[in-house]
Amino acid sequence: MRVEKEKRKASIVCIDKSVVTGFIHINPGQRVMDFINHKDEQFIVVTNAVFQSAGDIRAFKLYNEISKRKNTILLNKSSIKWVEELQK
């Protein structure tokens, strides 16, 4: 059974100082911090991801050959330093 998700725009700063801006998909009515802190999932999906420092990305095992924009990425929660929810 598929549950419809809410798209929330967020800026995510990783421990290696790389920044990803895109949409995370959470359950309706759920807070972004509750979603990030949920222990059952190790990865989060970020869609329409834009990397602000693509040459320096190491948290994602991506290097200089990556484009600065990806449709979908899986981000390991352990690489997240902080998350800021943005207005659409």
Distance CA 17, CA 58 (A): 9
The residues facing 69 across adjacent strands are 50
Digit-coded pLDDT (tens) for 44-60: 999 999 988 755 555 55
Delineate the domains of the chain, giving CATH numbers in brackets: 6-85 (2.30.30.100)
pTM: 0.77
pLDDT at 13 over 70: yes
What does the mean pLDDT of the chain come to? 84
Pick from 1-10, 32-41, 65-74, 79-88: least confident: 65-74
Q: Count Cβ atoms below 10 Å from residue 75 Cβ, excluding itself.
A: 20
CB 32 within 8 A of CB 24: yes
pLDDT band, residue 62 (cuts 50/70/90): low
Among 57, 49, 1, CA closest to 25: 49
**What would the two tokens of residue 40 be?**
């059952």
